[in-house]
Amino acid sequence: MRKINEECGVFGIFGNENSDVARSTYYGLYALQHRGQESCGIVVNDDGLFNSKRDNGLVNDVFTAEVLEKLGEGNIAVGHVRYGTAKTKGRANALPIVVNHIKGRMAISYNGNIINAYDLRCELEMDGCLFHTTSDAEVISYVITKERLKTGSIEEAVNKAMHSIKGAYALVVMSPSKLIACRDPHGLKPLCLGKTNEGQYVVTSESCALDATGAEFIRDVKPGEIIVIDKNGLRTIEDHVGEAPMKSCVFEYVYFARPDSVIDGVSVHKARKRAGMYLAKEFPVEADVVIGVPDSGLDAAIGYAEESGIPYGIGFLKNKYIGRTFIAPGQSVREDKVRIKLNPIVDTVKDKRVVIIDDSIVRGTTCARIIRLLRNAGAKEIHLRSSAPKFLNPCYYGTDIDSRENLIACKHTTEEICEIVGADTLGFLSVENVKKIAIEAGEDAFCTACFDNIYPTEIPKETKKYRYEDKISVAKMKENEEKK
Amino acid sequence: MRKINEECGVFGIFGNENSDVARSTYYGLYALQHRGQESCGIVVNDDGLFNSKRDNGLVNDVFTAEVLEKLGEGNIAVGHVRYGTAKTKGRANALPIVVNHIKGRMAISYNGNIINAYDLRCELEMDGCLFHTTSDAEVISYVITKERLKTGSIEEAVNKAMHSIKGAYALVVMSPSKLIACRDPHGLKPLCLGKTNEGQYVVTSESCALDATGAEFIRDVKPGEIIVIDKNGLRTIEDHVGEAPMKSCVFEYVYFARPDSVIDGVSVHKARKRAGMYLAKEFPVEADVVIGVPDSGLDAAIGYAEESGIPYGIGFLKNKYIGRTFIAPGQSVREDKVRIKLNPIVDTVKDKRVVIIDDSIVRGTTCARIIRLLRNAGAKEIHLRSSAPKFLNPCYYGTDIDSRENLIACKHTTEEICEIVGADTLGFLSVENVKKIAIEAGEDAFCTACFDNIYPTEIPKETKKYRYEDKISVAKMKENEEKK
Amino acid sequence: MRKINEECGVFGIFGNENSDVARSTYYGLYALQHRGQESCGIVVNDDGLFNSKRDNGLVNDVFTAEVLEKLGEGNIAVGHVRYGTAKTKGRANALPIVVNHIKGRMAISYNGNIINAYDLRCELEMDGCLFHTTSDAEVISYVITKERLKTGSIEEAVNKAMHSIKGAYALVVMSPSKLIACRDPHGLKPLCLGKTNEGQYVVTSESCALDATGAEFIRDVKPGEIIVIDKNGLRTIEDHVGEAPMKSCVFEYVYFARPDSVIDGVSVHKARKRAGMYLAKEFPVEADVVIGVPDSGLDAAIGYAEESGIPYGIGFLKNKYIGRTFIAPGQSVREDKVRIKLNPIVDTVKDKRVVIIDDSIVRGTTCARIIRLLRNAGAKEIHLRSSAPKFLNPCYYGTDIDSRENLIACKHTTEEICEIVGADTLGFLSVENVKKIAIEAGEDAFCTACFDNIYPTEIPKETKKYRYEDKISVAKMKENEEKK
Amino acid sequence: MRKINEECGVFGIFGNENSDVARSTYYGLYALQHRGQESCGIVVNDDGLFNSKRDNGLVNDVFTAEVLEKLGEGNIAVGHVRYGTAKTKGRANALPIVVNHIKGRMAISYNGNIINAYDLRCELEMDGCLFHTTSDAEVISYVITKERLKTGSIEEAVNKAMHSIKGAYALVVMSPSKLIACRDPHGLKPLCLGKTNEGQYVVTSESCALDATGAEFIRDVKPGEIIVIDKNGLRTIEDHVGEAPMKSCVFEYVYFARPDSVIDGVSVHKARKRAGMYLAKEFPVEADVVIGVPDSGLDAAIGYAEESGIPYGIGFLKNKYIGRTFIAPGQSVREDKVRIKLNPIVDTVKDKRVVIIDDSIVRGTTCARIIRLLRNAGAKEIHLRSSAPKFLNPCYYGTDIDSRENLIACKHTTEEICEIVGADTLGFLSVENVKKIAIEAGEDAFCTACFDNIYPTEIPKETKKYRYEDKISVAKMKENEEKK
């Protein structure tokens, strides 16, 4: 359903004794559902006893009233929604992960990608460690547990573990008595903090999940910061703060996050509107109406309309009832002819010069189809604008961008793309301007590697790619590797 | 989920032999899903053999790939989505109804309400007829069947039956070899006709279902017209055309229909935009932004913005993942505090004077909650505009309007309502102007009884109301009635 | 799973106000499950309001705690388990049927087959009647309803209807205030009466369902008798009693009924034991052990052992966990080699001369497989005895016997069958003796038509067979018929 | 459903490449279902790639055609059925367990109980090991993995691990290329070996699972033996053979195993028949009929009948349709009055002196109820015989015997028990004779600790009991323990 996929949304709540933390987490996961539709999970901590439910499916499918009832009351809970990459599919990989170690139980909810997970796992396996999943979260669990044996507290173990774990992560760790949250030193993944009227603390990927649970936004977690919440209140460990320059993912603003969220101090809706305004400045055109591709192109369309003075219109009706089991048109029916998911509103576009804003152009096939729909609806001219720059490079931080051979911008010039998708004119937002859409966070505060190939961290060697295959153990792979 | 409910959407297709009419119907029902979410059904006619599937649930729940496969191929099919009133709830009442009579099978898909169903049913029961359901469609089946015994063709039986059946209806009847569609003489319910490239005829409630099946719109079925489709092509019977003045339901434009549909020659989106424009003229105000309540207030908001010159903005994020099993906040959590289904976009409304357009105000509770959300998000002024006039009267044609004691406009003046919902100013579109929003169909072409108490037909006596109770037979009720 | 199929089991209870009649019916249906595994249903009558649940599946699948809860309390209930013939498959045909007529609601649970259903249905359709199902129960409903219009009470209508309805039936009819049970004048189908300590009357197909509900057996319903139960107690109408000679189905004793049931005064277990004893007299043999094919051959095996003096043994273990979704061995695995459902107990049969008793031999394939299993387990000699005579004729009273071309006894002599199935010797119980297994009911009290071709009623003409096809209406069929 | 519970049944098959090992395992698990109804699982090994399905439920519920299809083909597979003790409930604990370690994947299916699991787990946790489950199988996995790091082959690692692992176990281990099976040195749990015509080796808990997969029985695995199967064929490691005297569980013969199985050379049916014969010698009585409590009392009843010369009869009808969701009679209905699961066959027992054989008497409540049923059915005298001696002691090897306060024999004399259950006379098989029921295996070859308190191994200290509680980690428990 979505063109580009994020791996996860995380949620943690530290409540009062016997409170309905499961239900709050459930609401939070609903708000984060756009960040992962493959599986979801909640772990409730009732004074050291962990009850959990994790399964493939939407929040709506997995958490029925009965399931929620069974999770019971507790004082702490963590939750997770996951988009499953090839590497992490399957119910066994559903998060939050729950493990038992020498000091008791631990649950981990996690968003990101660990660059050196492969090497860490090899070392651990060499030491006799067993792995039940292919998830980075299990590697993280081991690293924290190994540190825990040498140190006096779980938060100190997390602090030490952050020296070993490289990459992008927003982490929520639940021990029998504490809730700990941390963000990688670059702040590649978002994480924020809130508090309810009843004094419950909430940490989560996006502020919209705070709204969903009735918590007030306090502040974003700083890059490298560790937040510790227990019955004595909230403390912060800043040993890793400032260790690296902030480089948060700009694509959160362009596409991933919900427009009603505020990330690192910037409204996502506002950032998108600005992207539209910059587009209007970079690629002005005479036209009768500006429309957006629902849903994530709408905010930028408003911005383009406002900046250009061209009226904003509603160009499409999106069918909101189409669910998971929808049977798409196949051989017998050409998809172009049936307009089930998206239907143009003829009155808006007929005989008009139309500017249409899409959030991004990945393979170009969706764009082409949308432009055909507009042509058939009688649009006179079609001016396509992408509120993301051209996708040219892979992401190593958890975003599932297509391989280069599938990225249309890797193989074609703007002019060629324009012709391929069938537009009259085409413009991509410049990398220069995309960095300014959330200017309040600082002009240089973003990772834009997918557009400009500048990665804030070391990146994994290509040869390790096959670790994600399921056939053999990592150690066997290493052997194979060495033989080559 | 919806404030006011329509009873049904109908669909029929006459295809070629062994074609995938089930799948086309399935796509059509997806497009009509907004007209009824209680149950749905498809009946496929394979040269006289009827295969059917009807059940409670959304199209998405009921029709899996396996179910569709089982329905098989055929040359004709009818489909139905239903909103269940108290009277028609329960799986047994799911439509299309299938009956066997002396001349073979018959399936009926139906949208509307038969004013004299009570009396017709009594007569039939007196004659020894058995009823399996409480649906009007079963009464209609009997009336047609009784006529069929006396006449040479199913279409002639339908034609005769239209003399007995009083009220609002769009009817699709499938016999072993024919597809027949008709609309009541006032045209109270919409019905239109289309044709695919392959020459398959489609009749359905809204043109968006034609788009969904790849059919081109041909024309609306005329009030009172009977369309007959068989292997010899399409014929029309116009005996009832002109028998009564056209009085189509204006609320289809205001609320029921999808904005991408065109009904009786008028774009629903355009009609809604016009409603917004009239509102801007009737109730102008100085403001910074115009927003709509998603989804059905958005089109009118665009109209208000355009007419007034005030910029259009996106005021709310609507969570699209919340499904049937969503567990709403209960005692423990006040709903006002958790913003799960609808969350304001703070950047759009903070410190602004906001005009907000809602499609209608029924009880006022939803409005009040939305206005509180805007206030909490920092809106400076809130000017509420309703693109429907005040609801004051019941509908006898199948729309499930609340009882008068629940209609806020029956008990309060505009000023009082404004205060109750917490707005700064409030305006309802006038009845005069609502009649003009689809002016191309004629100024007097609409039933606006819910607003102005002028009903195009006789209306049923109040005393017959209890027939919808389930306890005893209609005949018993009649007895009771007479005793009184 | 069963070789020969019965169509139904019926159950009715007249309780006290607001009692848990649904649960009692549920227990009753569990006891009757062997009489029909295709679908089941319960209708609860709460002072005129009928709540029902009918669906395909076993009692265990259809009636969850939640479903039973929803059925609620009431004062009367009827239930049904059904074996679906080709004619009556499909959820719409699940019984008890519920219809609304001029005097209120009526539910009918029914076991049997109406010989003249075809003609009755034609007449009714000519009169404009609609049919929703292909079940005889709907025809019966109409006949009773038509009589009801001309008479003062439901029981009188049933009494009159019995003049028109020809064939085999045990009928339980529930009106808003009465429970009526009747049995065809030949008593072809069993029906008995019981009463609980609390004074609730129960009518049902077999006495084991009385035991399951804690009711004491009172007596069998007489052939032709009508039992009427209402708040004034129990009455009986005997107008049809004695109208025809008693001819109850002997196969109930041989196979259908549960061994713990008592039918028409005779213990089914005892009748089966007697069958085994007669077999020992008719076909004695020197042997080391007598075993039965589980489960319905066990009782006769005890009888054979007792009469012959040869020790009884347990020859097979039957896997009791194999359910509906069991995936049988297919191409890759020859069924003969895997012993999943039935496994011989080697210790019992190895190096022994074995007498094995089966309840009947229909196609012979199951017998052949069982004998191969015994041979492989080391049995030295195998003497097969069938406690039913040879099946030679169809049943027109609701038992689904295979067509003649599939009946092994229609095509082969005893000697040939013995060779085909691989036994050393083979004996079928004689028709003469099968009539004596329930001698207490009278020697001539049984229908043995399937063995001896003597039918107690008229039988339907062969040409009407195709009415069970689904393609066209009965009337159309009649037309076709006349054309021939 | 069962009175005393066994923890598991194991199954492993080493097939040819791309063969349908999943389906064979599926059939095997069906045959082992009586050994565990809580959960089941299959892991298929397709040349190093492991596909698994494990879930709560019967084989019939978990393995649909679709699930089996998804498991695909492979060359090796292991399966498991589990009875869940309090300690191991929950889907996460479903076996076979699958883990990844430095040398690749490993799956373990296991039946038994590890006496020193508590201590092993503590040591491992001290070393930084994480546990996902509370199952002994995970402890075993770690012990084998730790050994694997120090040794050259998986079988050698298993061999070494057997020095550390104390208790009762039948183990099937699957590596990417091998199938390894072993049995504890006492042979407390059964394990046998078979081979199909196609040359596939099968190892499993009971020989009935060989029959179900078409494999011929080769021999029992010896106590302490390790069987290694790979593409080079079958090898055996006998380092632990003879290390301890054989002490196989006698209760397998009395109750657990299927009567068609042969364990350690003895037919289970025969052993049970012998138990009945010994009972007849120890407790003779004059009577008219001998009956057994279905199903596991039937074999012994045959033995009693044969030895005593009293005729064998069928005393009860057991309802085979009652499934998991059966709603038992509650407050409103006294269970004694409704005979749903078990109904006496009156004809067998009325006015008779009845000997009834039960496999064991645990709490006595079931016995008492059965005797009341017989009394109500008219039995004149009731002589109860238990084919197991009195239960007096707990089992530490995986059998879930009730606590002493619930064992009726711990609190009452035979005379008292006889009175409590309502029998006329009562006899328990003597410990002396129970040791002789499988005399071919040797008179001293059995563990009879539950009867005579003589345990073949060390037994765990009582204080460690609370480790099975779920609240805290083992280490935390240890701390608590030390504080005391």
pLDDT in tens, A418-435: 999 999 999 999 999 999
The answer to whether A327 contacts B65, with C-beta atoms less than 8 Å apart, is yes
Cα dihedral B303, B306, B311, B316, rounded to 10, equals 10
Q: Are C198 and C218 in contact (CB under 8 A)?
A: no
Q: Are strands C381-386 and D8-19 parallel, antiparallel or unpaired?
A: unpaired
Best mean pLDDT range from B201-215, C41-55, C56-70, D72-86: B201-215
Q: Are strands D167-174 and C381-386 parallel, antiparallel or unpaired?
A: unpaired
The answer to whether A132 contacts D99, with C-beta atoms less than 8 Å apart, is yes
Chain D residues closer than 8 Å to C299 by CB: 314
D224 pLDDT band (50/70/90 cuts)? very high
The answer to whether A48 contacts D471, with C-beta atoms less than 8 Å apart, is yes
Helix orientation angle between D365-376 and D414-421, rounded to the nearest 10 degrees: 50
pLDDT in tens, B314-337: 999 999 998 877 887 765 555 567
B247-274 mean pLDDT: 96
List all residues of chain B from 24 to 63 with a beta carbon under 8 Å from chain C.
47-49
pLDDT in tens, A359-384: 999 999 889 999 999 999 999 999 99
Say yes or no to pLDDT of D51 above 70. Answer: yes
Amino acid D183: pLDDT: 98
Amino acid D416: pLDDT: 97
Closest by CA to C423, choosing from C355, C362, C363, is C355
Q: Is the dihedral of CA B304, B441, B9, B120 positive or negative?
A: positive
Distance between CA atoms of D291 and D298, rounded to whole angstroms?
7
Strand positions, DSSP E, A375-418: 381-386
Q: Flag whether C touches D (3+ CB pairs, 8 A cutoff).
A: yes
Q: Is the dihedral of CA B149, B154, B156, B162 positive or negative?
A: positive
Counting every residue, how long is chain A?
484
Amino acid B332: pLDDT: 55
C134 pLDDT band (50/70/90 cuts)? confident
Environment class of D361 (CB within 10 Å of its CB; exposed 0-12, middle 13-18, buried 19+): buried
Chain B residues closer than 8 Å to A216 by CB: none
**In this complex, is the C-beta atom of C175 within 8 Å of any C-beta atom belonging to chain B?**
no
D298-322 mean pLDDT: 96
H or E element: which one contains A476? Answer: helix A474-483
Structure tokens at C14: 């007249």
Nearest neighbour of C104 by CB, restricted to B100, B128, B472: B472
**Among A37, A290, A320, A340, which would you mutate to test the B interface (most chain B Cβ atoms within 10 Å of its Cβ)?**
A340
**B18 backbone dihedrals φ, ψ, rounded to 5°:** 50, 35
**In this complex, is the C-beta atom of A149 within 8 Å of any C-beta atom belonging to chain D?**
yes
pLDDT in tens, D427-483: 999 999 999 999 999 989 999 999 999 999 988 765 443 333 344 444 454 455 455
Say yes or no to pLDDT of A14 above 90. Answer: yes
Q: Is the dihedral of CA C312, C314, C316, C321 positive or negative?
A: positive
H or E element: which one contains C466? Answer: none
Q: Are strands B342-344 and B104-114 parallel, antiparallel or unpaired?
A: unpaired
Q: Which residues of D are catalytic?
A: 8
Q: Are D481 and D468 in contact (CB under 8 A)?
A: no
B217-241 mean pLDDT: 97
Radius of gyration of chain D (CA): 23
Closest by CA to C82, choosing from C119, C31, C47, C32, is C32
Environment class of B129 (CB within 10 Å of its CB; exposed 0-12, middle 13-18, buried 19+): buried
Chain D residues closer than 8 Å to A103 by CB: 473, 475-476
C212-240 mean pLDDT: 97
**In this complex, is the C-beta atom of A321 within 8 Å of any C-beta atom belonging to chain B?**
yes
Closest by CA to C337, choosing from D211, D206, D32, D204, is D211
The answer to whether B345 contacts A267, with C-beta atoms less than 8 Å apart, is yes
Amino acid B206: pLDDT: 98
**Among A314, A320, A331, which would you mutate to test the B interface (most chain B Cβ atoms within 10 Å of its Cβ)?**
A314
Residue of C nearest to D214 (CA): C338
Placement of tokens 């009880």 in the chain:
B363
Cα dihedral A380, A383, A384, A389, rounded to 10, equals 170
Residue of D nearest to C303 (CA): D313
Looking from the CA of B283 toward its CB, the CA atoms found within 13 Å total 22
Closest by CA to A215, choosing from A24, A477, A414, A475, is A24
Which DSSP category does A454 fall into? -
**In this complex, is the C-beta atom of C295 within 8 Å of any C-beta atom belonging to chain D?**
yes
pLDDT in tens, B116-158: 998 999 899 999 999 998 888 999 999 999 999 999 899 999 9
Question: How far does the CA of residue C176 sit from the closest CA of chain B (Å)?
Answer: 8
Q: Taking the mean position of all CA atoms in its chain, how far away is CA C347? A: 36
A282 pLDDT band (50/70/90 cuts)? very high
User: Could you tell me which residues are beta bridge partners of residue B50?
Assistant: B45
Residue of D nearest to A469 (CA): D49
A291-305 mean pLDDT: 96
List all residues of chain D from 211 to 230 with a beta carbon under 8 Å from chain C.
211-214
The answer to whether D33 contacts C319, with C-beta atoms less than 8 Å apart, is yes
User: Could you tell me which residues are beta bridge partners of residue A12?
Assistant: A78, A203
- Mean pLDDT score of chain A, rounded to an integer? 90
B404 pLDDT band (50/70/90 cuts)? confident
pLDDT in tens, B62-96: 999 999 999 999 999 999 999 865 555 566 677 89
D356-380 mean pLDDT: 94
The answer to whether D30 contacts C321, with C-beta atoms less than 8 Å apart, is yes
Distance between CA atoms of B91 and D215, rounded to whole angstroms?
50
Nearest neighbour of B473 by CB, restricted to C105, C128, C476: C105
- A349-376 burial, b at 16+ Cβ within 10 Å, e below that, comes to beebbbbbbbbbbbebebbbebbebbbe
Amino acid D178: pLDDT: 97
Calculate ∠ Cα A19-A21-A24, nearest 5°. Answer: 125
Neighbours of chain B (3+ CB pairs under 8 A): A, C
Closest by CA to B426, choosing from B368, B349, B348, is B368
| Residue C269, C-beta contacts closer than 8 angstroms, at least 6 positions apart | C259, C260, C299, D314, D345, D347, D348
Distance between CA atoms of D79 and D70, rounded to whole angstroms?
16
Question: How far does the CA of residue A205 sit from the closest CA of chain B (Å)?
Answer: 16
Amino acid D400: pLDDT: 79
In 3-state terms chain A splits into helix, strand, coil percentages (rounded to 5) of 35, 25, 40
Placement of tokens 């699940």 in the chain:
C94
**What's the order of all strands across the beta sheet hosting B201-204?**
B49-56, B39-46, B74-82, B8-19, B201-204, B192-196, B215-220
**In this complex, is the C-beta atom of A86 within 8 Å of any C-beta atom belonging to chain D?**
no
Domains of chain D (ranges; CATH) run: 8-246 (3.60.20.10), 271-319+338-437 (3.40.50.2020)
The answer to whether C64 contacts D325, with C-beta atoms less than 8 Å apart, is yes
The answer to whether C102 contacts B126, with C-beta atoms less than 8 Å apart, is yes
pLDDT in tens, B439-483: 999 989 999 999 999 999 988 765 443 333 344 444 454 455 455
Amino acid D94: pLDDT: 78
pLDDT in tens, D241-267: 999 999 999 999 999 999 999 999 999
* Cβ neighbour number for residue D444 with a 10 Å cutoff: 10
Distance between CA atoms of D111 and C299, rounded to whole angstroms?
38
Question: How far does the CA of residue C106 sit from the closest CA of chain B (Å)?
Answer: 10
A86 pLDDT band (50/70/90 cuts)? low
Residue of B nearest to A198 (CA): B333
Amino acid D90: pLDDT: 62
The answer to whether B295 contacts A320, with C-beta atoms less than 8 Å apart, is yes
Amino acid A469: pLDDT: 38
Distance between CA atoms of D134 and D370, rounded to whole angstroms?
38
Question: C54 by DSSP, 3-state: which?
Answer: strand
Nearest neighbour of C212 by CB, restricted to D27, D208, D340: D340
- CA separation (Å) from A217 to B351, B376, B417? 19, 13, 33
Amino acid B473: pLDDT: 46
Q: Are strands D381-386 and D425-428 parallel, antiparallel or unpaired?
A: parallel
Closest by CA to B345, choosing from A439, A267, A210, is A267
Q: Flag whether D touches B (3+ CB pairs, 8 A cutoff).
A: no
Chain C residues closer than 8 Å to D211 by CB: 338-339, 343
- Exactly one of C8, C40, C182, C395 is catalytic; name it: C8
**Among C338, C342, C376, which would you mutate to test the D interface (most chain D Cβ atoms within 10 Å of its Cβ)?**
C338
Residue of C nearest to D373 (CA): C211
Of C471 and D409, the structure prediction assigns the larger pLDDT to D409
A468 pLDDT band (50/70/90 cuts)? very low
The answer to whether A145 contacts D128, with C-beta atoms less than 8 Å apart, is yes
**What's the order of all strands across the beta sheet hosting D104-114?**
D97-101, D104-114, D167-174, D179-183, D226-230, D233-237
Q: Are B12 and B24 in contact (CB under 8 A)?
A: no
Q: Flag whether A touches C (3+ CB pairs, 8 A cutoff).
A: no
User: Could you tell me which residues are beta bridge partners of residue A235?
Assistant: A228
Least confident stretch, A393-407, C219-233, D40-54: A393-407
- Mean pLDDT score of chain D, rounded to an integer? 90
Amino acid C103: pLDDT: 83
* Cβ neighbour number for residue B238 with a 10 Å cutoff: 12
C149-159 mean pLDDT: 95
Q: Please report the ipTM that was assigned to this predicted complex.
A: 0.91
Structure tokens at B162: 């239209």
pLDDT in tens, C346-386: 999 999 999 999 999 999 988 999 999 999 999 999 999 99
Placement of tokens 């090994």 in the chain:
D45
Say yes or no to pLDDT of A6 above 90. Answer: no
